[in-house]
Amino acid sequence: MNISIETKEKDHLTTVDISGEIDAYTAPKLRESLFHLAEKKESVIIINLSEVTYMDSTGLGVFVGVFKNIRSNNGQLRLLGLSNRLMRLFEITGLSTIMDISSKIEGEAK
């Protein structure tokens, strides 16, 4: 049960690469890393989930909280690189209809 979070900030754009598992054990670390970013006014956060091997409802809760925070600060959140399994989680919960989500990474062949 490990998670790695790498953040790169430049002006109002922040990219976050996450790898490992997002569950009840690792979600607090993820929440801590993302929530302060979401509180910045008009920021854009792009989160790469292509290396996430597992996520449970606790992880979904973190992303819902980040999404609400960033929207209330006139920012944007984009999730990239979701596996079929992760995409299905967001679809089942209806989050895929309100969040900007893509299974492809920018620059990938279509």
Mean pLDDT of 12-34: 96
Q: Give the confidence band of 107 by pLDDT, cuts at 50, 70, 90.
A: low
- CATH value of 3-100 in 3.30.750.24, 3.40.50.10800, 3.30.70.20, 3.40.50.2300: 3.30.750.24
Q: How far from 5 is each of 18, 27, 29, 51, 97, CA to CA, in Å?
A: 5, 11, 9, 11, 26
pLDDT in tens, 58-79: 999 999 999 999 999 999 999 9
Give the residue extent of every domain in the chain: 3-100
pLDDT in tens, 37-49: 999 899 899 999 9
Two tokens at 86? 């992760």
Mean pLDDT of 95-110: 76
